[in-house]
Structure 1
Amino acid sequence: MSRYQIRFRNACVVGVAAIGLAASGCTADGGGSGAGGSTTLVAYTGQSGDYQINFNPYSPTMIDGPGSIYEPLFFYNVARKDEPKPRLGTEFSWNDKGTELTVTLRQGVKWTDGRPFTADDVVFTFDMVRDNPTMNSTGFTGKTTAVDDTHVKITFDKPSFSEGPQILGKFWIVPKHLWAKIGKPAEDVMKNPVGTGPFKLAEFKPQAFTLEANPDYYDGAPALKKIRYVALSGNQSGADALKAGQIDWQTGPVPDIKNVEKNYPGYRAITVPMNQAALFTCSNADLGCKGPQTDPAVRKAVYYAMDRTQLNALAFENTASEISPGFALPGRDKALVSDRLKDPVAPMQPQPGTARRLLEGAGWTKGSGGIYTKGGRQLALTVKVVAGWTDYITAVNTAAEQLKKAGIKLTVQQLSWNEWSDARGRGQYELLMDSLYQGPAPDPYYLYNYFFSSRTTAPVGRTANPNFARFKDPKVDEALAALAGIAMEDTAARQPYYDTIQTRIEESMPYIPMLTGGTTSEFNARKFTGWPTQDNLYAFPAVWGRPDNSQIYLNLKPAGE
């Protein structure tokens, strides 16, 4: 495994191994353990390899920005059903038909370059997203107008209630006076970001970048003065750095995860079931995908060949839980899981007979070495995974052994995050391991609209965002369009459309369900107070969760203050 280095405050260079971190003596403002009064939080997001600068909040390869630098109009908590919290907006309301959304904006806000924030910035942002398919991950089609400097109105051609949390909670408002000069906003990496958020960029280096508190933030400068994001060589180096007290927050596995407080004095952990781990497939041959995984029978055979109980034990220390092939969360969305699914939840034990029948029914026959063949070619697949993500690497290596028993050859390819992310976006892969994330409100509609809408995908070679599987189904698109026009509280009217979506994606299986990940974070409770707890999940507590992490940063205070 390659080694990388982290530079703390330009004062000392230390290796990623715990011994190197501990020996460096870098503690003040560098993340040392204890209450020592430091106001810098050192965060590790799982970045494996050097950072490549990109603060464009609409880019699939951005490294930060949403929530911290660029703000939404409101914050929606996906961890529990809270009322939206004002950010750049203060109030909003729909007309009775769901075709007009009016938003009141906060007054007295300034961009970090000193220019005033106005309704024109919101109109510009919404129009820019609408007119750039790569940036428009929600399929937004509304028309936005400025009523005056502090009010905007968004109109739709049809009822669009479900659009609310997406555009209010996941559209990152950018400054018109700067972005209007950018010829290709979807591709610009935004090296010098200007936002309204609580933080701004202080320094960028490939090994680490630092955000600093915005002293002119409209709600007052945060008590947390700096956030340093470090690049390490993977989960093991993250655990080593945590042990040495050199990082303050990471989301990822550590050994003996049940005993974090004992093994890592001063630290605590929290686990929330939220993101759904899956084998992403480039599934659509019509959009340029190539390989055996373009056959639905192969995808479903992989699904039935997996031993999820073993995967959970070996890769996730039993912190994961059941997953539904319809991708409604079995816990949070239990009432919405369709009773028309063949499997309400994926089988935890392998079903080799079912896998065999699927493959042989699709014309695959057992060849030499027990691997299926068709047309003279083996059923061999390559799965891409980020180097250093030890839990995912263990998962795909374990899956490879499981699939071999079912006659499927799986080769694991470890890549840097940058290479993996680029392959994911462009569809230049057969399989890769990743997670489907939730939307801005606790409802599966948003995940469906992100990952299964034809509007959020693209042919291979062009960047999809985030329908990376290249899935297209007219019936799913029709159901999504219908759901957008039904008030979210009317669950009886919405359920038939959920039934359609869930059964169609179970049949096609462009994302092969593995497990619902128990998202676990370890954080320095001795150095900072105000972290989310199971009793107070005021935000989804993942360091890479955006804008949730910014909401947590705003709530943190150095211990003793």
Structure 2
Amino acid sequence: MSPALRILLAALLLLPALARACPAQTNPDFVPRETPPLGDIATYGLLPPVSERMPEEPLIVDLPAKGREYGQRGGWIRSFITQRRNSRIAALYGYARLVGYNEKRELVPDILKAVTVGEGRDFTLTLRRGHRWSDGAPFTSDDIRYWWEDIVNNPMLSPSGPPRFMLVDGKPPEVAFPDPVTVRFRWASPNPHFLPNLAAARPPFIYRPAHYLKQFHARYTDETTLASQIAKAKVRNWAALHNARDDMFRMENADEPTLQPWMAVARGSGSHLLFQRNPYYHRFDANGVQLPYADGLDVTVMSGGLIPAQVATGHADLQAEALTFSQVPVLVSGEASGNYRTRLWPSGTAADIALYPNLNYNDPVWRGLLRDVRFRRALSLAIDRRIVNRSLYFGLAREGGVGVLPFSSLYKPERHGLWAEYDPKAAAALLDEIGLPKKRGEAYRSLPDGRPLEVIVETTGEKPEVADTLQIIAETWRDVGVRLLVRTADRDVLRNRVYAGQVMMAVWSGWDNGVPEPDSNPEELAPMTQENFSWPKWGQYYQTSGAAGEPIGMPVAETLMRLAHDWAHVATTEERRPLWERMLDIHAENVLVIGIVGEAPQPVVASNRLRNVPERGLWLWDPGAFLGIYRPDEFFFADPPPRS
């Protein structure tokens, strides 16, 4: 018996043999087919047959309508991640959401059977009758009730109360659970944040496996039993215990049931993770085959510098993490011997490389200068983006500032290039106008207080393209009298320093969503979150309702906040479009983030044996979950290994 099958059998021995009536099908021609080796396990009574595991109304996928093949079952998809916490790969590749984005980035029901929306504020969620968790327990409205009543509104588990996307004007919704398959959320005003959050790359998981988590909750488990578990887990209290067991996104707790296509086998070693097929998954192809086609994900944790070599020798079936455009020659040279193809997908972020002047920088002199639009424009005009594109991306990237990409209906080419042409004379004139002198015989200008004009840009150093870009920028900035210094820091350290106002300027990618539509949340364009490196303290102030950070101190930022507020209080796409347009215009005109290049090619390597992998896609975190939006549960091996 193969090791993979042994693991599968060992795990499934624990699954309850739940029997129920054969589900009624809306499609009379649909006949579910058993999945080997699950069929063998069902034969021996260790697992119900597929007709009893599936929802009464499964999600049936017509693959030819999507331009894809019907597949066959079997095989494990091998991939690499750079650190253990990226075990989230199973939730990203799985991309099972209550509602999710299709490949056109349209919101459609997924785990849910249906969603109805009234006036943009009244949401009725309808679950699939007979849907079950990966351990066979029923998935019902009680699992959403548990999240709402016992997690979100429990002060021990959620000290700040309901998350912000569940509040409209600071008020939570009315929530009702009329029956096991119906949940209703009703706000007094429109809530445009609700459904996009459910479909996010990292969703809030407004449902939890109540039957599993109740054993760690003080409302449902007696104090003595909890005390024993707390001591064994070596945590402070029951809330810490509950949080440790509740791991829906990273999926490192193999005991917690899931609705994803693959479920964790066991915690395993620190460098190897296995996620096997969920026998209760709700999606089927139109031939009656339960998805996913692949038996599981075989994931290895490895240093990012070693991954390209492993991929080039054929040790990955599907890989994008830790691959950059600079490694394409190595990847292409290994295609024949490694039996794979390298696809180049354009990045979907608003820019692949961007400079973020920190408008909340602690130094008062520098803070005033960074808030001067003339200074930001001068720095942007002094960058030769054509050299960056041709030198590092062979001209395949798009030169310009931070903004929406042509894949979006909000795209305007004139906006994308505003203040982004290389014009060192205009840049020098703006610096002169500000009053930043360059003394005779000196290479660099001075600040008003006499200090040298030295812009310190901090980076994680994770991508070689960024280091090369900064070197090119340093040369062109020197021509206008600005000195660029580079400081490298760990990713988490850099973030915390930015949040504390200790970083003058950081290099990062542009807004996560470079392909927004009028109904997309514009919070990245306004100071509503500390994650935006342009204004972390203003974002903190908004997120904490004034408990941290500092109030907005710049008129243009106040305008953006007002527009974002207006967007959240209108109900139609037609009303939201001009608000988005105005916010994009403000960003382009004020150069609040200095974009360098966008749509840079992202290598996506797929084995020639793995089918249904799109030739062309958009590499985007949200919306899309990177590969998730392209449904890896529909990928299959043309020649899966023979069954043991």
Band of TM-score, shorter chain: 0.7 to 0.9
Change in 2 beyond 3 A, CA 1:166/1:400? same
- Are residue 214 (structure 1) and residue 251 (structure 2) matched? no
Aligned partner of 1:152 in structure 2 is: 183
Counterpart residue number, 2:20: none
Give the match's secondary structure for 1:200. strand
Give the TM-score of the pair, scaled to structure 2. Answer: 0.65
Aligned length: 497
SS of the equivalent of 1:43 reads strand
Change (3 A) 1:347 1:260: farther
1:223 alignment partner in structure 2: 293
Q: Kindly provide the amino acid, as one letter, of the partner of residue 315 in structure 2.
A: Q
Measure the CA separation in 1 of the matches of 2:120 and 2:275.
Answer: 39
Q: Does 1:108 align with 2:145?
A: no
1:87 aligned partner? 110
Query: Which residue pairs with 1:317 in the alignment?
Result: 394
Residue 208 of structure 2 aligns with an amino acid whose one-letter code is P
CA shift, 1:245, in A, is 1.9
Correspondence for 1:550: 628
Structure 1 pair 396–460 and aligned structure 2 pair: CA distance change class (3 A): farther
Residues 1:388 and 1:38: Cα distance change in structure 2 (over 3 Å): farther
Deviation of residue 309 (structure 1)? 0.9
Aligned twin of 2:195: 164
Pair 1:124–1:474, CA change in 2 (3 A): farther
The 1:352/1:533 distance shift into structure 2, 3 A limit, reads: same
Q: Larger Cα Rg: Structure 1 or Structure 2?
A: 2
Question: Which among 500, 507, 515 is matched to residue 433 of structure 1?
Answer: 507
> Gapped runs of 5+ residues in structure 2?
5-73, 218-237, 284-289, 544-548
Task: Using the aligned pairs only, state the percent identity.
Answer: 16
Structure 2 distance, partners of 1:164, 1:289, is 43
Match of 1:200 in 2: 263
Does the 8 Å contact 1:532/1:541 carry over to 2?
no
Q: Tell whether the 8 Å contact from 1:306 to 1:350 is kept in structure 2 after alignment.
A: yes
Name the stretch that deviates more: 384-393 or 160-169. 160-169
Please list the CA deviations of residues 113-138 of structure 1 after superposition, one character each: whole Å capped at 9, or x if unmatched: 66543334435657867978799576
Deviations 1:301-340 (A, max 9, x none): 2211111111112233322114454x222x123555397x
Give the Cα–Cα distance (whole angstroms) in 2 for the partners of residues 559 and 427 of structure 1.
53
Q: Secondary structure at the match of 2:565?
A: helix
Q: Is it true that 1:372 corresponds to 2:445 in the alignment?
A: yes
- Please tell me whether the aligned partners of residues 81 and 442 of structure 1 are also in contact (alpha carbons under 8 angstroms): no
The counterpart of 2:560, out of the listed 461, 476, 487, is 476
| SS of structure 2 residue aligned to 1:520 | strand
| Paired position in structure 2 for 1:250 | 320
Please report how far the alpha carbon of residue 271 of structure 1 lies from its aligned counterpart in structure 2 after TM superposition.
1.8
Question: Counterpart amino acid of 2:78?
Answer: L
Aligned counterparts, 1:388-537, within 5 A: 388-423=462-497, 428-439=502-513, 442-443=516-517, 446=520, 448-454=522-528, 459=537, 473-486=557-570, 489-490=573-574, 493-534=575-616, 537=617
Matched-pair contact (CA < 8 Å) for 2:99–2:109: yes
Indicate if the aligned counterparts of 1:450 and 1:456 stay in contact, CA closer than 8 A. no
| Deviations 1:232-263 (CA, angstroms, capped at 9, x unpaired) | 244xx443333222333115434584996665
Is the contact between residue 253 and residue 520 of structure 1 (CA under 8 Å) also seen in structure 2?
Answer: yes
Contact 1:279 1:433 in 2 (8 A): yes
Q: 1:53 to 1:523 in 2, by over 3 A?
A: closer
Q: Distance in 2 between matches of 1:559 and 1:207?
A: 28
The amino acid that maps onto 1:200 is M
Distance 2:503 2:324 in 1: 26
SS of the residue 1:446 aligns to? coil
SS at match of 2:477: helix
Q: Say if 1:54 and 1:549 are closer, same or farther in 2 by CA, change over 3 A.
A: closer
**Range that drifts further, 468-477 or 199-208:** 468-477
Match of 2:97 in 1: 72
Structure number with higher relative contact order (C-alpha < 8 Å, ≥ 6 residues apart): 1
The alpha-carbon distance between structure 1 residues 398 and 272, as it changes in their structure 2 partners (threshold 3 A), is same
Does structure 2 retain, via aligned residues, the 8 Å contact 1:438–1:444?
Answer: no
Q: Report if aligned partners of 1:208, 1:228 keep a CA contact under 8 Å in 2.
A: yes
CA contact (8 A) 2:113 2:127 kept: yes
* Structure 1 vs Structure 2 CA RMSD: 4.4
CA contact (8 A) 1:366 1:407 kept: yes
1:59-95 alpha-carbon deviations (Å, 9 max, x no partner): xxxx556445784211114x6354x343222211221
Deviation, 1:145, is 1.6
Q: Deviations over 1:334-387 (max 9, x none)?
A: 555397xxx542466422123223333333222564222211222222323333
Does the CA contact (< 8 Å) of 2:519 and 2:573 recur in 1?
A: no
Once the two structures are superposed, what CA deviation does each residue of 1:219-244 show, in whole Å capped at 9, x if it has no partner? 3462331241533244xx44333322
Give the alignment's TM-score, normalised by structure 1. 0.73
The answer on whether the counterparts of 1:133 and 1:456 sit within 8 Å (CA) in structure 2 is no
Aligned residue number for residue 362 of structure 1? 434
The letter for the 2-side match of 1:360 is D
Does the residue aligned with 2:348 lie in a helix, a strand or coil? strand
Partners of 1:299 and 1:560 in 2: how far apart? 56
Asked if the contact 1:440/1:446 (under 8 Å) is kept, the reply is no
